[in-house]
Amino acid sequence: METRRVDYDVIVVGGGHAGCEAALAASRMGVRTLMITMNISTIAQMSCNPAIGGPAKGNLVREIDALGGEMGMAIDDAGIQFRMLNRSKGPAVWAPRAQADRLGYSVRMRCALESQEGLEIFQGMVSSVWAQGDSIGGVETSTGRRIACHTVILTCGTFLNGLTHIGLESFPAGRAGEFPAVGLTESLVDLGFEAGRLKTGTPPRIDGRSIDFSQTEIQNGDSDPQPFSYRTKSIRIEQLPVYLSYTSPETHLVLSSGLDRSPLYTGKIVGIGPRYCPSIEDKIVRFKDKEHHQVFLEPEGRQSREYYVNGFATSLPEDVQVRALRTIPGLGNVRITRLGYAIEYDFFPPTQLKSTLETKRIQNLYFAGQINGTSGYEEAAAQGLVAGVNAVLKIRREEPFLLDRSHGYIGVLIDDLVTKGTNEPYRLFTSRAEYRLLLRQDNADRRLMRYGYRFGLISNGQIATLEQKEKLISNLIQQCKKVKPAPEMINTILKKLKTTPLSSRQSLYQLLKRPQIHLVDFRTVKEVDRLLDHLGDLCKDVVEQVEIEIKYAGYFQRQMEQIERFRNLEQKCIPETIAYQTISTLSKEAREKLTKIRPISLGQAARISGVSPADISILAVLLEKGVTDKKVPRGTN
């Protein structure tokens, strides 16, 4: 390691969801860590909707938790409504989602940071970073303080040259009412980084006392709320409802009347916004025929009377926002507490990163979260965790932590970012995961917890529980194959479940393949009762895993085969020193893209847009021949 004197091992710039996980992971792994945030009071602030989870995002939180991250526990503590989405679908797309107490979540996370040994927090604005050779040196704050460190993790959210828009008015701000971060982008561009500009938006918030809830639909939480964290035993709180209303053609008329003062439609906003989360004005313009759009009224917290108008993101002028909202049933007399706005901010195309989230250009400099063009708290947190872990592994000169697309949603997220980049705020969807049947929220612990344990982020107790659970699962599956209840013992149960009775003995394994049947249905069978009793505390989890594995065995088997084929290409490593520019047989575009992205495997190369199958065949031939072939040009080693 360098003998250079440093003040900290790791400095995390930013106190959002990426910054929190990065700082916690690094300090928990035992390195001296400093988090610099522009405002300690807004640590882990939910800038947009007060909710965590949902399809794909819920899986991410479970994965973060399995790796020893904080987000799952924080939302379990600060949630005010819990729902498992997609329950009518298969287990792979079940998605936990929770409404959060916005302030409560922030306080909960700040508490975790402040009580973490080895982690210090400082309020200030980092205005530049400096490099020493091709390595990061440290950061400088706007007050001129220079802090030297081994590693910098930048998690700046929407603050880099943030510019908010309401109608034709615009204000430099990182979030409504907060300062933007200036100087840092320029400092990074000076170091050779390429920057881009994105846009996102948020809806108005309203005074709950001005809502007529009788005109809305109520949406309650689940009666059996499921925790996000493997460490949370159960959730016992009084849940708050969410309310649902709809826009009408009249609303759309009002909105249309304001388009001439829309920063989006007058060309004032240059950043690209997300297609999956369009503003309400965007929705009515792009989908003219749709007469109603859903509007969710989500409580901001237990202590607050504010409601968040989800589905109504807008940057239209103030008067239009008020008039449009008042056409919505239940909001006839509504008072806005905070206006909706759009924000433009700088990001750094993530193709400039390695899969560890370290930049290719400057060693020991990591980017995580919205600075990489993503959106969403969960996406940010996942990147923060990965960056934090890898920063420490690099300091320790250990093998990096890399998850591929078959390991988890985190792998999908990072591979998409560093391989394909993004030109709109990137959000994870389950459809982005090729192997999602196996990347379920119910098995994140089985997939990933051992990594967390290896990094010291998962306790001995937790890993012991996992080992025990694994043992019980395989044991129970064996038993299910052996136990064959007599038809006369279970036929009445089968009839009650509306499934064909048996004429001869069949194993539990065979029986469980039927969708209607669950193990608990056979509790009256003595052998089954004994099996279940044997499972103790882990009964629910173990039975869930066993039933899923048995019911979908055929599909899982085929998905495993797909993964094997995928890994074939992933394992064909491309040497880092390969000089694509001198391989004349590659297409020009492929040469440029490959040089820029520098994929680590043939599989990753194949996912780069602009790299054709022909290019891949050529690379495959080169690799096959062994890069020792004299005719294959190599870079300097």
Q: Which residues bind other proteins (CB under 8 A)?
A: 54-56, 85-86, 88-90, 92-93, 246, 274-278, 283, 286-287, 290, 292-294, 296, 310-311, 313, 420, 429-432, 434, 436-437, 552, 555, 558-559, 562, 583-585, 587-588, 590, 606-607, 609, 612-615, 617-618, 621-622, 631-632
By beta-carbon proximity to other proteins, the closer residue of 386 and 608 is: 608
Hey, CA dihedral for 57, 58, 63, 69, is it positive or negative? positive
The closest of 6, 26, 44, 30 to 153, measured between CA atoms, is 26
Could you give the 3-state DSSP secondary structure of residue 225?
Answer: coil
By beta-carbon proximity to other proteins, the closer residue of 540 and 555 is: 555
C-alpha–C-alpha distance, residues 459 and 623, integer Å:
42
CA distances for 435 relative to 442, 557, 605, angstroms: 15, 11, 19
What is the closest distance, in whole angstroms, from the C-beta atom of residue 580 to other proteins in the complex? Answer: 13
What is the closest distance, in whole angstroms, from the C-beta atom of residue 618 to other proteins in the complex? Answer: 6
| 419 in Cβ contact with 605 (< 8 Å) | no
What is the closest distance, in whole angstroms, from the C-beta atom of residue 320 to other proteins in the complex? Answer: 19
CB atoms within 10 A of CB 169: 14
Could you give the 3-state DSSP secondary structure of residue 135?
Answer: strand
Residue reference for tokens 């054709």: 612
By beta-carbon proximity to other proteins, the closer residue of 122 and 552 is: 552
By beta-carbon proximity to other proteins, the closer residue of 303 and 584 is: 584
CA distances for 126 relative to 154, 184, 217, 460, angstroms: 10, 7, 46, 38
By beta-carbon proximity to other proteins, the closer residue of 195 and 632 is: 632
By beta-carbon proximity to other proteins, the closer residue of 432 and 523 is: 432
What is the closest distance, in whole angstroms, from the C-beta atom of residue 397 to other proteins in the complex? Answer: 35
By beta-carbon proximity to other proteins, the closer residue of 53 and 263 is: 53
Strand order in the sheet with 51-53: 51-53, 95-100, 79-85
C-alpha–C-alpha distance, residues 381 and 70, integer Å:
9
The angle subtended at Cα 525 by Cα 523 and Cα 527, nearest 5°, is: 100
Write out the DSSP string of 211-238. --GGGSEEEPPPSSPPPSSTT------P
What is the closest distance, in whole angstroms, from the C-beta atom of residue 590 to other proteins in the complex? Answer: 7
CB atoms within 10 A of CB 490: 23
What is the closest distance, in whole angstroms, from the C-beta atom of residue 613 to other proteins in the complex? Answer: 4
Tokens of 334: 């509504």
By beta-carbon proximity to other proteins, the closer residue of 116 and 355 is: 355
What phi, psi does 455 have (nearest 5°)?
Answer: -85, -5
What is the closest distance, in whole angstroms, from the C-beta atom of residue 287 to other proteins in the complex? Answer: 4
By beta-carbon proximity to other proteins, the closer residue of 41 and 431 is: 431
C-alpha–C-alpha distance, residues 612 and 620, integer Å:
12
Tokens of 319: 């008067």
By beta-carbon proximity to other proteins, the closer residue of 64 and 622 is: 622
Half-sphere exposure of 399 (CA within 13 A, CB side): 6
Residue reference for tokens 């509007």: 295
What is the closest distance, in whole angstroms, from the C-beta atom of residue 535 to other proteins in the complex? Answer: 27
By beta-carbon proximity to other proteins, the closer residue of 237 and 618 is: 618
Range list of β-strands (E), 255-371: 294-299, 306-310, 336-338, 341-347, 365-367
What is the closest distance, in whole angstroms, from the C-beta atom of residue 176 to other proteins in the complex? Answer: 20
What is the closest distance, in whole angstroms, from the C-beta atom of residue 57 to other proteins in the complex? Answer: 10
What is the closest distance, in whole angstroms, from the C-beta atom of residue 123 to other proteins in the complex? Answer: 34
Residue 34's H or E segment, with its range, is strand 33-37
